[in-house]
Structure 1
């Protein structure tokens, strides 16, 4: 079984975003739904199951849910569904070779899926997800170059 590339995934619906967050918590943080609910401060984990089943959650619980899961797919979906693109705040850090390789990988994937879509139009979700991921990474690199003159402390590890 191959590991998912969590940076390249894009949710296609709100419910899918909730599922991806839950899957990330399970696969990367070894957390169950009960563990996520506990980290969110919910008294009963069945409430979280209800939110996941319906694909709806009160807005004041979205951020605690994402923090408990360790990833922000719900926020990304909400922004993308409104035609917005989220870019992680760049700190102006020096680039690693893996960063450039990853940028090339995202571009190649986006270009491949875009070419396939135009050659044989069908479901655009894969091409849209790849293009969104690539644009986010390019925007991050743009901001990182702009911020490189005044680098910030890397407080997130």
Structure 2
């Protein structure tokens, strides 16, 4: 069985988003459709109905994604509304290597864009590169935001 790269998967329809959630739950957590349905307190046939209709009640999206441990439905809804969704990074100390990695990622993204506009690069590769750069920048943005109001260190086990 080949290893699947889940971070690079983006759903193109609601049906595909539901299917990707179920595939992810099976692949990563060995949860069948019946188990996901049980965790949601519904029949597995309801999930099949949602998938065949390509719709799901909005109050069921969050519990369904929690049971599957992924957010493909939310990502599809956001992208269909022309919005960019990225995971909010947890924030962590940054080293010089992290900044150099960010610079390399931004340079790679810029190079991909330049090649695309010269008709030398494929759109999918450019989109992936730009998205990776934006996510990395969002991580550093979150670090700066958290430096202004750091989280409570309740479970740090620090020196007191």
Same structural fold, with TM-score higher than 0.5 when normalized by the shorter chain = yes
How far does the alpha carbon of each residue in 1:22-67 deviate from its partner, in whole angstroms, 9 at most, with x for none?
A: 111011011011111111111x211101111222111111111100
Residue aligning to 2:35:
35
**Unaligned stretches of 5+ in structure 2?**
155-160
Alpha-carbon displacement from aligned partner over 1:101-122 (angstroms, at most 9, x marks no partner): 9868976886687567552687
Higher relative contact order (CA 8 A, sep 6+): 1
Per the alignment, residue 146 of structure 2 pairs with: 147
Choose 141-150 or 65-74, whichever is displaced more: 141-150
Partner of 1:24: 24
Structure 1 residues 112 and 6, CA gap change in structure 2 (3 angstroms): farther
Taking a change above 3 Å as real, the CA distance of residues 6 and 134 of structure 1, as seen in their structure-2 partners, is: farther
Aligned counterparts of 1:96 and 1:4: Cα–Cα separation in 2: 30
* TM-score, normalization by structure 2: 0.71
Following TM superposition, by how much is the alpha carbon of 1:94 offset from its aligned partner in structure 2, in angstroms? 2.4
C-alpha root-mean-square deviation of aligned residues, in Å?
Answer: 3.5
- State TM-score, norm by structure 1: 0.72
Q: Please say which of residues 108-117 and 65-74 is displaced more in the overlay.
A: 108-117
**Is residue 91–residue 151 contact of structure 1 (8 Å, CA) maintained in 2?**
no
For structure 1, the residue ranges without an aligned partner over 5 or more in a row are: none
Residues 93 and 151 in structure 1, CA contact (< 8 A), matched pair in contact too: no
> How many Å separate the matches in 2 of 1:14 and 1:109?
32
SS in 1 for 2:5: coil
